[in-house]
Amino acid sequence: MSSSATTTGRFPQDFLFGSATAAYQVEGAWNEDGKGESIWDRMLHEHPDYVRDRQNGDVSANSYHLYKDDVKALKELGAHFYRFSIAWTRIMPTGEAHKINQPGIDYYNNLINELLANGIQPMVTMYHWDLPQWLQDLGGWTNPIMVDYFEDYARFLFERYGDRVKWWFTFNEPSVFAAGYATERQMAPSLNKPGVGDYLASHHVLIAHARAYHLYDKHYRPTQQGKVSIALMSNWYEPRSDSTEDIAASDRAMQFSIGLYAHPIFSSAGDYPAIVRELVDKNSKAEGRPRSRLPVFSKDMIEYIKGTSDFYSLNYYTCRLVSPGITKHDPALRPDAEVSSHADPSWPTTASEWIKVVPWGLRKAINWVHKQYNGPTIVITENGVPDNGKLEDLSRISYYRVHLAEVLKSIHEDGCNVKGFTTWSLLDNFEWNSGYTEKFGLYFVDYSDPARTRKAKASVQFLKQIIRTRELPEETQKP
């Protein structure tokens, strides 16, 4: 026998590798060619102080003009797919379907065609947080009418792009953008209605997701034959000890951060997780409210939402230790979860405050999803880490090495159905509240150069080899 890597070290033949970005983080051209204003445009123009370096996505990596360079970069990497998002405001400047913007539509047609011409599958996120400001003025996701607007938008995308796009994500990380309704100075729209705005927004997002799924299922799947999913932030919350209390806290953390979105869609029972229902109802009552802060789905709605995803899209970055208490910082962990979380001081740190290198957390998250939701097909739709700005991004190489090893274990040792892996991100880009100070790209982008030149970091060669050989190389030296 040669090395043991031959069986457990290999990614299956049909396993897909790709890389991801999001419109506001890379496109720039925020007001060009008829694009409308989004909630991120508005928030950061009014409040530059919400971002560490007071920057915004106005120009960013300029992918609106440089998309061909992005496709070249993907080609060099050997990526099978590119996960990018569409800016709703480029297609429909106000978010209304009767006012469309042709140059915006053309932009995504050009990008999709360029990808396909280079043998790269487009994977499209419809909504990566940049709601049209016009719709926000109506209340954004707190207004149930948003379900109709989102369906109009989804229909338009299926109509115009579905002949070539076979992978759709309705939303990216509702747990993260719903925090924009719970907090201020962080996510748009910075509404600061904790425990009310976030649940309300999540509720309508789930219905909007199901509406788009059913629309595809009924009208487009028969001819277009693609897949529809929703990307969920799926970090792992490890019990701090093996005490019953800590294990229960870990379960609450997972149910409030993931189950709130995944249970209605992926579980056989449907609806919100019982523990989430119970705790929010209990606390709402104790606060003297006439009804729960967590809205209630009708029986019909529970059935309508159940099963509305063709696979599970898992975003993973890091892990936290949890025990009973209250967490204030983690947007996905609402106080109702009664969980306190922290990082183990022994975990390797990174250039990002919140990301510690905890690869086994990815394996646990995959297994948790596998067990909770009857072994769905799983695609890792985001995983990544920022570097220190050097082209020799050895810390990223070692991060991917250990995380990909855990993906292999989850496939070969645990029997989980993981079918793809996506690096976040293709390019150094606008990292939300951290601005350009955190560099997640496989490609360096020179932000001092108006031409925004892209340069491959060392991790590109490393990943390229894995994609080509479907094998993790032996570790020759510790980075």
Give the binding site for ligand GBH (CB under 6 A): 22, 25, 172-173, 176, 233, 329, 331, 353-354, 382, 424, 431, 440
Q: State CA 142 to chain mean position distance.
A: 21
CB of 255 to ligand GBH, least distance (A): 18
Distances from the Cα of 119 to the Cαs of 71, 116, 166, 379, 395, in angstroms?
10, 5, 14, 20, 30
357/360 Cα distance (integer angstroms): 9
Cβ closer to ligand GBH: 27 or 382?
382
155/143 Cα distance (integer angstroms): 20
Cβ closer to ligand GBH: 278 or 344?
344
CB of 331 to ligand GBH, least distance (A): 5
Cβ closer to ligand GBH: 162 or 386?
386
CB of 380 to ligand GBH, least distance (A): 13
Judged by phi (left if over 0) then psi (alpha if -120 to 50, else beta), residue 322 lies in beta
Q: Which of 27, 151, 173, 438 is catalytic?
A: 173
Distances from the Cα of 331 to the Cαs of 24, 253, 396, 469, in angstroms?
20, 12, 25, 38
97/95 Cα distance (integer angstroms): 6
57/64 Cα distance (integer angstroms): 12
Cβ closer to ligand GBH: 215 or 445?
445
Q: Which of 114, 151, 338, 382 is catalytic?
A: 382
Is 96 a catalytic site residue?
no
Q: Which residue is nearest to ligand GBH (CB)?
A: 354
What are the phi and psi torsion angles at 58 (to 5°)?
Answer: -55, -45
Hey, what amino acid is at 429? N
| DSSP-based three-state secondary structure for 259 | helix
Is 353 a catalytic site residue?
no
CB of 354 to ligand GBH, least distance (A): 4
Angle of helix 244-254 versus helix 274-286 axis, rounded to 10: 90
Q: Which two tokens stand for residue 344?
A: 């183990």
Cβ closer to ligand GBH: 173 or 310?
173
CB of 203 to ligand GBH, least distance (A): 20
Which residues are catalytic, by number?
173, 382
